[in-house]
Amino acid sequence: MTSLCANYSFGNYISLHSKNNSVPPIKRNFHSSYGIRCSNIQRGKLSDPNYVTIFDTTLRDGEQAPGASMTAKQKMEIACQLAKLGVDVIEVGFPAASQAEFDLVKLVAQKIGNNIDEEGYVPMICGLARSTKEDIDRAWEGLKYAKTPMIHMFIATSDMHMKYKLNMGREEVVERARSMVAYATSLGFEHVRFSLEDATRSDKEFVYHIIEEVIKAGATCICVADTVGCNLPNEFAQLIVDIKANTLGIQNVILAVHCHNDLGLATANTLAGICAGVRQVDVTINGIGERAGNASLEEIVMTIKYRGEELLGGVYTDINTKHIFTTSNMVEEYSGLKLQPNKAIVGANAFSHESGIHQDGMLKNRGTYEFISAEDVGFIRATEHGIKLGKLSGRHALKIKMLELGYSFEEKQLGDLFWRFKSLAEGKKNITDDDLRALILDETI
């Protein structure tokens, strides 16, 4: 099937993979001094144009969700789990925010940032910094111990932010950004990621200008942020296309996106960005983060895994998806942010079936009502087919459940039991094994 990204046009029908907008393939560099597998990021370039780098910000933006603060020990355990998952970049925190935050960044840089596995994988370790010398110095002091440290600098670019938050004019902002990126590279950072806060509400010509200037100053990755989650997928993709078409030097850096979920579109916008040529995406486990959260790692990764080859132009990641469910559970427990049962991929109901028609289909072939394999995300079912008995369940599901409990019935007996079961289920939300055994014994529940 033809790629959706190859055919689909956004806005004024600008092809996402037009000759002028595509990122040229770059030959793999086999002479890396320590063989980093984490997307094989060289200075500002991707070795494989189809590889999507996973930038996980669970420990930074994720923890900014109200009520989600975690202990240093919990955050260290999550960082270890993120490395097992195989994320390319772990944004640990904001080193200048506090001594505890600095200490954690330094510890993760020392321990996880040097733990190279047998395949040569070691995650980049990243810290956030405002565009100030003090923040950049603090970031370097904490991150320099990692095999591959990355600084994530940012400055606001919308007129609203510049006027009311920064109290700075456009050229002041450009000069600050340019000079601070140059300062970061002078300290020794080879990977300088620069984010445009509130980029989606910024003047486009100004966006092109400031990106060009920070690239000249040494930025190796440019991140376009939908900070308040206000964009629709088509306009977000168009912004990426326009940046690629109008910004000098953009082909020499990694283009990234950071999407918030205020309209419930963080995942959709991130995927639209990938279609437009973005090759690094900001995500969090369970989609946690400021306000309504961020793009969900599990949703992005599984979409790429299941539809990347067919509809997204052949993009892929190196995430070990079998660790997704364990990682999700850990973040849910440590952050205290409970998942809604119907959360895609990792919610309690994601692989559970209660209606009779669906249960009958699942008993015959799981593919009838499950597009994603539970095993692919490391989900272990309580029952083989994920069937939950309730008032909408059918006789086939009840028969299979009774066989699991060791009971076999003739059709007439099963019919009698089924109607008693339906009567019980009408008044009881959760049907237990003991309830079913009591029905057999004709006990009153």
Determine the pLDDT at residue 199: 98
Asked whether 353 and 362 are in contact (CB, 8 A), the reply is yes
Amino acid code (one letter) for 24: P
CATH number reported for the structural domain that contains residue 420 in this entry = 1.10.238
DSSP state, residue 294: B
Helix and strand numbers, DSSP H then E, in the chain: 15, 10
CATH number reported for the structural domain that contains residue 77 in this entry = 3.20.20.70
Where residue 418 falls among pLDDT bands split at 50, 70, 90? confident
pTM given for the model: 0.82
pLDDT in tens, 220-249: 999 999 999 999 999 999 999 999 999 999
Could you tell me if 402 and 288 lie in one domain? no
Where residue 26 falls among pLDDT bands split at 50, 70, 90? very low
Q: How many CB atoms lie within 10 A of CB 439?
A: 20
Q: Domain boundary residue among 280, 302, 335?
A: 335
Mean pLDDT, the chain, whole residue set: 86
Where residue 215 falls among pLDDT bands split at 50, 70, 90? very high
Q: What are phi and psi of 250, to 5 degrees?
A: -65, -25
Could you tell me if 329 and 391 lie in one domain? no
State yes or no: pLDDT of 190 exceeds 50.
yes
Q: How many domains does the chain have?
A: 2
pLDDT in tens, 344-360: 999 988 777 666 767 77
% of the chain with per-residue pLDDT over 70: 86
Could you tell me if 313 and 371 lie in one domain? no
Q: Which of 396, 395, 390 is nearest to 364 (CA)?
A: 396
Q: Which of 45, 59, 30 is nearest to 289 (CA)?
A: 59
Q: Is residue 177 part of a domain?
A: yes
Could you tell me if 235 and 316 lie in one domain? yes
Question: Please, is 440 exposed, middle or buried when counting C-beta atoms within 10 Å of its C-beta (0-12, 13-18, 19+)?
Answer: middle
Could you tell me if 153 and 73 lie in one domain? yes
State yes or no: pLDDT of 49 exceeds 70.
yes
pLDDT in tens, 82-126: 999 999 999 999 999 999 999 999 999 999 999 998 888 999 999
Q: Which domain holds residue 413?
A: 356-442
